[in-house]
Amino acid sequence: DKVRDGLHIDESHVTASREILRTYGNMSSATILFVLHRLLGTSQPGERVMAMAFGPGLTVETGLLERV
């Protein structure tokens, strides 16, 4: 929520992530694969997805993906 608020991301853009976390819980690294699978069913070519992962300490990984 802090990252979403800080980056001014609309709640509708985190729906897939929230649904996966609610349904399966935090599956660590595999979570992104479930979210991407969900997004493939609802996104259109050219749409972008920002993927962010937070690990222990200050580890942060980000990636900007575009559906083709």
Chain segment 2-41, per-residue pLDDT in tens: 889 999 999 999 999 999 999 999 898 889 899 999 999 9
Residue 55: the pLDDT is 78
Contact between 49 and 65 (Cβ < 8 Å)? yes
Residue 4: the pLDDT is 92
Among all chains, which residue has been given the structure tokens 């937070």? 54
pTM: 0.81
Q: Characterize the bridge pairing of strands 60-66 and 48-54.
A: antiparallel
Reading the block at residue 25, the tokens are 């819980």
